[in-house]
Amino acid sequence: MHNPLDYSFNEIKIGLEHYFEVSIDEKLEKDFAKISGDFNPLHMDEQYAKETKFGKRVCHGMLLASFFSRLVGMYLPGKNALYFSQNLNFTGPCFIGDTVIVKGKITGKSEATKMIKIETTIRNNAGELLVDGIAQVLVR
């Protein structure tokens, strides 16, 4: 789906939610390593990762964070988004093969600045929290 939603500032209500799922596969992980330039062995080297407490390769936290770009640019508010800030807490590991649920919920809006505040979370299929944070987005 390449056409974003198109909420105006007035249409955004406190409590409005959107979510989508993403399957984390080998290709996505490798493509992100190339784009970011982060080839840390915890992400890339199965043998190395096996000896860490995680027992296997862990996906880049910033790969997960990239899905907040989609959340903001395609859904909340979609077309009229201008990303102002995002904070990120990496709270749990994501592994290749996981399906993650990326979710946003509107928790605030400012008439004066046309800024909306979004509670953003990413969970795995077991419901464990992997990333959370707050996004602030200007609705143009």
The contact set with its own copies (CB under 8 A) reads 2-4, 20, 22, 28, 31-32, 34-43, 52, 60-63, 65-70, 72-74, 78-79, 81-90, 133, 140
Residue 14 or 88: which CB sits closer to its own copies? 88
Give the nearest distance from C-beta 46 to its own copies in angstroms. 15
Residues 127 and 106: their CA atoms lie apart, in Å, by 20
**114 residue type, one letter:** K
Residues 73 and 80: their CA atoms lie apart, in Å, by 8
Residue 61 or 109: which CB sits closer to its own copies? 61
Residue 10 or 87: which CB sits closer to its own copies? 87
Give the angle 123-61-63 at the CA atoms, nearest 5°: 90
Give the nearest distance from C-beta 77 to its own copies in angstroms. 10
Token pair, residue 17, equals 């939610």
Residues 48 and 90: their CA atoms lie apart, in Å, by 21
Give the nearest distance from C-beta 70 to its own copies in angstroms. 4
Residue 9 or 90: which CB sits closer to its own copies? 90
Give the nearest distance from C-beta 35 to its own copies in angstroms. 6
Residues 21 and 51: their CA atoms lie apart, in Å, by 30
